[in-house]
Amino acid sequence: MAKPIFLDCSYSEKDEVKQLGAKFDWISKRWFITSDMESKQFTKWLPQDEPQTDDTFGLNELLLQVQQTISEQHSDRYWVRAEVVNLTHHVHVYLELSEHDQDGNEMAKVRAILWNHRAEKLLEHFFTVTGMVFKAGIKVLLQVQVTFHTRYGLSLDILNIDPNFTLGDIEAKLNRIRKQLQTEGIYTANKELAHVNEFCKVAVIAPRQAAGLGDFKSQADQLMNLCEFCYYSASFQGQNAVAEIQ
């Protein structure tokens, strides 16, 4: 007697298997064929056999194959554009890089490492050219090699940094800000204010724990009290910067 062979098919595939001759079992609510039917045309819906011992992999064995494939197929050096979203410096520099689409949705993320023997030279050159510290929140162009470790996974080994790319990104941001201010009609607002011969009040805006703020206060207070200094706290970067400055 022919035995039923149940098929692993989705609801959207029911018409296809029915047309090929499959039958529906109303008790189990599944489509099936019988063992005396030609099964070749139903191959993609047939239940998979239990894996044989020879077909299994140890985790390390599988990941070693992945490591070898990456080493063989991606041994070149690549220049990669990304944003530094996290950075820690403990002997070596450990980074988290990401890329977002135009709507701000994250498309990709990866770990990267700048080894100590390269870090000092590259970071010093970056600061000399840009005048800023290499930190989280900046766009960068990095020369990297793809590496894979069976315990630590995929990462990028940083070989070089192009500081001019970051400078260009900063200039592009400034241009966007200028255009926005011009569109809003406030770009020349300060220039249109009446000129005064002397200033009696000076507003000082700084982060709460700003380095040098205490020295500024002590020196300003010693200058014969000609001006009144009004101090306001605000973050200059981060998610709360815009709201606090406003």
**Is residue 31's pLDDT more than 70?**
yes
Which residues, 6+ apart, have CB-to-CB distance to 189 below 8 Å? none
Does the domain formed by 61-171 have CATH 1.10.357.10? no
Categorize the per-residue pLDDT at 202 as very low, low, confident or very high, splitting at 50, 70 and 90.
Answer: confident
Measured CA distances, 51 to 4, 56, 67 (Å): 22, 7, 24
Predicted TM-score of the model (pTM): 0.58
Tell me what percent of the residues of the chain surpass a pLDDT of 90. 41
Where in the chain are the domains? Answer: 4-50, 61-171, 201-245
CA 113 to chain centre: 15
pLDDT in tens, 102-122: 888 999 999 999 999 999 999
**What pLDDT, on the 0 to 100 scale, is given for residue 238?**
65
Any idea which of 59-68, 77-86, 184-193 has the lowest mean pLDDT? Answer: 184-193
Question: Does an H or E element contain 217, and which?
Answer: helix 213-221
Which residues, 6+ apart, have CB-to-CB distance to 46 below 8 Å? 5, 7, 8, 39
